[in-house]
Amino acid sequence: MTDEAMSPLRRRMIEDMTIRKLAPKTQQGYIRTVKNLAAFLGRSPDTASFEDVRRFQLHLAANGADTPTRNHTVSALRFFFRVTLKRYAIVEHTHFIHELRKLPVVLSPEEVARLLDAAPGLKYRAALSVAYGAGLRAAEVVSLKVSDIDSKRMLIRVEQGKGRKDRNVMLSPHLLDLLRAWWRAARPQGWLFPGRDPVQPMTTRQLNRACHAAAHLAEINKRVSLHTLRHSFATHLLEQHTDIRVIQVLLGHAKLDNTALYTRVATKMISEVMSKARRACRARLWRSRVSSATTDRRGVKPTLAM
């Protein structure tokens, strides 16, 4: 939308978001939410009452909006009413939804190998391999540039990941070989994984579709998404006894609690713990039996004859 066609209210909200350095995607999402509120009301959103906002949230729930969508709506409305309009009373009556965190779907190493082998072409195989081999989010994979691959230090630089933070992640020799094969085949110049228009990167939708197609061809009967590869990366590292704080850094998690979730799905670790528990239980039982065998009925241990 041009400046001429933009309403003063929208321009003010964009300025407020720009001053606070909100990410471009966050700004787009907030503007879209306020537009949806205006469409629902049939009038300017700055005239909304608390009851109007409540009806809008009920409308989202009735139409099957998921929890992340509804929580994003609350974030957008809070910013709009608190920062742009200074209408704090409405903000006080908007609430986030808190749900119990579900365990992530995780693939076995064999399933990951089958999925990558079934990827539709070298470009998507390389992109999906980066998602698993470096534990990246979809947006981070498609945002990679050729210059982000540091073969000397065996690192991949992730710029402006979630939370607008830069970080370095691991680059295995196998993944480097695959990326080199992709580079020799396509010679990408800017974006590592360009889209149909080489000036633009591959979209996250294209990458997710490729992931779904590969999972279908590999006959993996799980609900697989691109994020499943990231979950699998973290879980497999845990099962190899990698320090959880190292995994936190590699994933770019701000809180260790987010990383700790993977300890609940690391089945190899759970099996090892159960195995150790069984061995300890058997050892205690054996010691108990030995102790009973060496004690007479009166509770006196016999002495050895000299």
* Rounded CA separation 228/249 (Å): 18
**Closest CA relative to residue 245, chosen from 232, 258, 233, 236:** 258
Strand partners, 149: 156
pLDDT value at residue 282: 56
Strand order in the sheet with 149-150: 149-150, 155-158, 167-170
Q: How far, in Å, CA of 282 to CA of 18, rounded?
A: 64
Say if residue 5's pLDDT is above 70. Answer: no
Domain 8-92 in this protein, CATH class:
mainly alpha
**CB neighbours (10 Å) of residue 253?**
17
What's the whole-model pTM score?
A: 0.69
Please give the share of the chain, as a percent, with pLDDT higher than 90.
65
* Nearest residue to 208 via CA among 159, 142, 117: 142
Query: Tell me, what's the pLDDT at 1?
Result: 42
Top-confidence range, 135-144, 231-240, 244-253: 135-144
Ordered by start, the domain boundaries in the chain are: 8-92, 109-264
Residue positions annotated with a catalytic role: 137, 162, 227, 230, 253, 262
Amino acid at 117: D
State the pLDDT at residue 289.
57
Asked if pLDDT for residue 219 goes beyond 90, the answer is yes
Q: Which fold has domain 109-264?
A: hpI Integrase; Chain A (1.10.443)
Q: What is the pLDDT of residue 253?
A: 85
Q: Is the pLDDT of residue 56 over 80?
A: yes
Query: Does 279 score more than 70 pLDDT?
Result: no
pLDDT of 2 higher than 50: no
